[in-house]
Amino acid sequence: MIRLGLRLALRTGREGLVRLAIMTGAVGIGVALLLGVLAEFHAFQAQSNQPCWSCTHGATINGPLPDRGELWNNSVDFYQGQTITRLDVARLGPPAPMLPGISALPAPGTYYASPALEALLKAVPATQLGDRFPGRLAGTIGNAALTGPGQLVVYIGYPAAALASVPGTQIVEQLATTPAPEIFTPFFRYAFGVGVLAVLLPILVLISTATRLAADRREERFAALRLVGGTPSDVRAMAAVESVLSALSGTVLGIVVFLLVRPLLAGAVVIARYFPDSVMPTWWEFAALLVAVPATASMAAIVSLRRVEVSPLGVARRTTPEPPAARRLIPLAAGVGLYLLGLVLTSHQGIGSAVYPGLILTMIGLVLAGPWLTAQAARLLGSASQGSSVLLASRRLADSPRTAFRAVTGLVLAVFLGTMVGTLVPAVNAISGPPSGGPLKNVLLDTFANPNAFYAACPTGDPNCALPAQPTAAMRQQALGLTPSAGASLMADLNQFAGAEAYPLYSLPQVANPQYQGMNIGVVGCDVLRALPTFGSCAPGVTAVQVNDGAAIDSDNPYQSTQAFASSSAPPYRASLAALSLQAVLVKVNSPATLERVRTFLAVHAPPSVSAGPGVIAPTPPRTYGEATAIRLGRADLLEKLIYVAVAITLIVAGCSLAVAAGGGLVDRKRPFTLLRVSGTPVSVLARVVLFEAAVPLMTATALAAAIAYGTSMLAFVKLAPAGTQIPELGAAYYLLMSIGLAIALAVIAATLPLLRRMTAPASVRFE
């Protein structure tokens, strides 16, 4: 039977070879896409699970330096919105941990840079970047220290005595080996899971659709074999041989295609930039596909031949199968119910364990319920409409709703995923912060005051550390910021930059009192508020006001930092501003080059001179409000890329599934369509039949999929989003995605119409 099955698959003429080639190509596309998804997932996992050396925390310096370990001052810097991980390091003595990516610690006066930072240093003027790093470039940091080829990292060597005097320096004897802290909140993890899960089902649908190509013609052939004495086991064996042959060939083709395009996939920024070696599925996943895809295709082929085994005469005479029963709605209802149960168990700290199983079961339920919905819509269409095209289409849909719905399954799932994307992505952006930093996006902020300076002497991580009884003069000045003379000198230097306008924020003298620790009480000139009206305004005739500007100088929170902190009711400050310490400076720049020159100047001439406090690394370097917002939205951007990639793959797979199903449907109906044309039916009527057959199941199931997806997304949003967050609306991106899906469907169906005319030409009737 195996030899006969191979002969039937390979030597039944051009039609059989074309069918085999289409099945092989469709399976190959599905396997290649699936391998691409797995490779991207593995790269993301490898990046997420990489040990985070920069997360290392050491001990606070208390007294003389030890003779073992290293001194670390771990901080970040910025260039054109990119984060630079900076480590100032000095060797104390053995045993000392070795930093990843290098073979020896940088000597004092030298530094190591990652390849991306090294290229950047060579490309831009030193006044914009290179001057921030003292010494000379001594080498390149290897991949072991980096999460991707685009990461910017620098190790800078210092003498131990010099680094020990820099605030925030710690003693390190062992590197952290755990991954970086989880960046996704439960809301982000939920949306991440939606994107990954929704990619897999359409690919499986494509493979299943491809292996069932021209199933009706196959049933007729196998029914004839049964009528001449073939046993059910013989028919199953031959069907399995043909399906396994096409599926195995397609799997091998898909693996070859993936390996050929893998270098392009590794170099493309799909979600993030990864090292090429990490963009690769495991060997057992390749082996599993080589076994699972042919096995699945074989089972699908055997299941599709149940009518042949039960009654070969029924197939030969084209008896109408039993219509889909309403019990097909049970998995859909169960999936929605399980999902709702998961949401009941969901909180801001974690997602209920039933959410993801409920989501998967809901998508499976949509696929299972689709034929029943198609049959009901066909009955409604047949009773409510007139015309030969509608009559033929409704009868065809009622006769085989499973086949009709199978053609649009991929697009239904794409609509389901796209609706969730259209809801969740705006929600994530709404939660994360304003889209651009508002009118302050090109305003650079550098802070010099530390309201927690009085905790500087506390041991690292001690939450019960008490305020010192007698704060030193250095602690008091750290709480205030730069001295009046140093602040005046810095402001004069900043005002020399062309294209930059500097605005000072001052500290009130009482901030030097420990009872005000943790508070940012300052003075701002009304001329500053007129130049930067986002921060508020003064009463008429007032030149300066007292404010609590703590939120403004904490640019980590775009919501709070861009809110007004001054008003006409603020108490005026009438003394001389020249006698006040400089708390912070705001610099408005007119170009990216000016921004980097000012930032480099501040990094060199006004480095952080305050203690970071217990358990906190060095203060945040100067950055714009726009950069702070971009960092805040980085998680949402990653999520958005992931889900839109999932939608794009889903649409591609859905289009391929529809193309295979539409072409296979025409092959199956070549004889009846040809006879209709011979009897006088115009081609335009047959074309409308094909369009109706595709449109009815598509519109019926997609409307239900969109409604369920929107409802479940809204429930998840209400449960997981912070209280008071505005309910997002479906935006332009959603309607664009749905338009693309509809355009793909119409283009694929339209592409089959010329084939319909050629296949049903009256001259072909002699072959039927």
Burial 733-763 (b: 16+ CB within 10 A, else e): bbeebbebbeebbeebbeebbeebeebbeee
Which DSSP string do the residues of 590-602 spell out, in sequence order?
SSHHHHHHHHHHH
**Most confidently modeled range among 73-87, 192-206, 634-648:** 73-87
pLDDT recorded at residue 274: 81
| pLDDT at residue number 468 | 63
d(CA 367, CA 335): 12
Instruction: Average the pLDDT over 700-729 and give the result.
Output: 75
DSSP state of 586: E
Token reading at 732:
């332009």
> Residue type for 503, please?
Y
Identify whether residues 618 and 640 lie together within a single domain: no
Give the end of a domain, one of 615, 632, 649.
Answer: 632
**236 with 160, same domain?**
no
Q: What is the 8-class DSSP label of residue 728?
A: P
For residues 548 and 140, give the distance between their C-alpha atoms in angstroms, rounded to a whole number.
Answer: 45
Rounded-to-integer distance, Cα 233 and Cα 736, Å? 50
Q: Does residue 488 carry a pLDDT above 90?
A: yes
Residue 758 pLDDT > 70:
yes
- 246 and 209 housed in the same domain: yes
If one counts the domains in the chain, the total is: 4
Question: In this structure, are 509 and 584 located in the same domain?
Answer: yes
Q: Are residues 609 and 500 in the same domain?
A: yes
Rounded Cα gap, residues 358 and 337, in angstroms = 7
Task: Lowest mean pLDDT of 277-286, 493-502, 554-563, name the range.
Answer: 554-563
Tell me if 335 is assigned to some domain. Answer: no
Among 600, 632, 664, which residue terminates a domain? 632
Residues across the chain = 768
Q: Which residue has the tokens 């304003």?
A: 434
Residue 466, domain member (yes or no): no
Is the alpha carbon torsion for 187, 188, 191, 197 positive or negative? negative
Judged by average pLDDT, the poorest of 290-304, 372-386, 419-433 is 419-433
Categorize the per-residue pLDDT at 494 as very low, low, confident or very high, splitting at 50, 70 and 90. Answer: very high
Long-range residue pairs from 377-386, CB within 8 A, at least 24 positions apart, any chain? 377/696, 377/697, 377/699, 377/700, 378/696, 381/692, 381/696
CA-wise closest residue to 76 among 634, 504, 638, 518:
634
pLDDT value for 314:
52
CB within 8 A of 470, min separation 6: which ones? none
Domain annotation covers residue 96:
yes
DSSP per position, 552-571:
TT-TT-HHHHTS--B-TTSP
Q: Calculate the alpha carbon distances from 208 to 33, 35, 294 in Å.
A: 15, 17, 10
> Do both 426 and 573 map to the same domain?
no
Higher pLDDT: 199 or 291? It is 291
Summarize pLDDT for 68-80 with one digit per residue, the tens: 999 999 888 899 8
Strand order in the sheet with 59-60: 59-60, 170-172, 69-79, 82-93, 152-157, 110-113, 136-140
- Its domain, for residue 513, covers 438-457+472-632
pLDDT tens digits for 444-469?
888 888 766 666 555 544 555 666 66
**Which one-letter DSSP state was computed for residue 326?**
G
Other beta carbons within 10 Å of 183: 11
Task: Give 77 or 696, the one with higher predicted confidence.
Answer: 77
- Least confident interval from 21-25, 227-231, 378-382, 684-688: 227-231
DSSP H or E run through 722: none
Q: What is the pLDDT of residue 613?
A: 37
* CB within 8 Å of 725: residues ≥ 6 apart: 427, 430, 431, 717
Task: Give the pLDDT of residue 397.
Answer: 78
- Does pTM top 0.85 for this prediction? no
Confidence band, pLDDT 50/70/90 cuts, at residue 406: confident
Q: At what angle do helices 283-304 and 14-48 cross, to 10 degrees?
A: 140
Nearby residues of 131 by Cβ (< 8 Å), 6 or more positions away? 600, 603, 604
Residue 750 sits in the same domain as residue 675: yes
| Amino acid 580: pLDDT | 93
Mean pLDDT to the nearest integer, 521-534: 90
- Residue indicated by tokens 């100032």: 88
In a shared domain, residues 88 and 106: yes
Q: Regarding predicted confidence, which is higher, 734 or 572?
A: 572
- Classify residue 178: in a domain, yes or no: no
Query: How far, CA to CA in Å, does 418 sit from each of 306, 413, 435, 467, 604?
Result: 36, 8, 22, 55, 49
Q: What is the pLDDT of residues 229-263, one digit of tens each?
A: 667 677 667 767 777 888 888 899 999 999 998 88
Query: Is 149 found in the same domain as 110?
Result: yes
User: What letter would DSSP give residue 101?
Assistant: T
Are both 277 and 236 inside the same structural domain? yes
- Same domain? 39 vs 108: no
Count Cβ atoms within 10 A of the Cβ of residue 586 and give its class: 0-12 exposed, 13-18 middle, 19 or more buried. Answer: buried
Residue 592 domain flag: yes
Q: Name the pLDDT band for 484 (thresholds 50, 70, 90).
A: very high
Phi and psi angles of residue 708, each rounded to the nearest 5 degrees, phi first: -65, -40
The pLDDT score that the predictor gives to residue 617 is: 34
Residue 359 is assigned to a structural domain of this protein? no
The mean per-residue pLDDT over the stretch 80-104 comes to 91
Integer Cα distance of 456 and 475 in angstroms: 8
Residue 752: pLDDT band with limits 50, 70, 90? confident
The verdict on residue 135 lying in a domain is yes
How confident is residue 618, by pLDDT bands cut at 50, 70 and 90? very low
pLDDT at residue 128 greater than cutoff 50: yes
pLDDT of res. 591: 93
- The shares of helix, strand and coil residues in the chain, as percent rounded to the nearest 5, are 60, 10, 30
| Cα 155 to Cα 100: distance, rounded to the nearest angstrom | 11
Predicted local distance difference test score (pLDDT) of residue 194:
58
* Average pLDDT of every residue of the chain: 77
User: Which segment of 167-171, 203-207, 639-643 scores lowest on mean pLDDT?
Assistant: 639-643
pLDDT at 104: 92
- 3-class DSSP state of 355: helix
Residue 357 lies in a domain: no
**Residue 564 and residue 485 share a domain:** yes
pLDDT average, residue stretch 94-99: 90
Q: Output Rg (C-alpha) for the chain, integer angstroms.
A: 34
Listed residues 578, 602, 632: the one ending a domain: 632
Kindly list the distances between the CA atom of residue 1 and the CA atoms of 8, 116, 230, 239, 246, in Å, as whole numbers in the listed order.
10, 61, 10, 10, 17
Contact assessment for residue 271 and residue 644, using Cβ atoms and an 8 Å cutoff: no
Orientation of helix 683-720 relative to helix 355-384, angle to 10° = 150
* 497: Cα within 13 Å, side-chain hemisphere: 25
Most confident of 27-41, 421-435, 446-460, 505-519: 27-41
Residue 263 neighbours by CB distance under 10 Å: 11
Beta-strand relationship, 110-113 and 152-157? antiparallel
Separation between Cα atoms, residue 311 and residue 330, nearest integer Å: 29
Does pLDDT of 316 surpass 70?
A: no
pLDDT by residue (tens digit) across 531-572? 989 888 999 989 999 988 766 665 554 445 567 888 888 899
Interatomic CA distance for residues 736 and 647, integer angstroms: 12
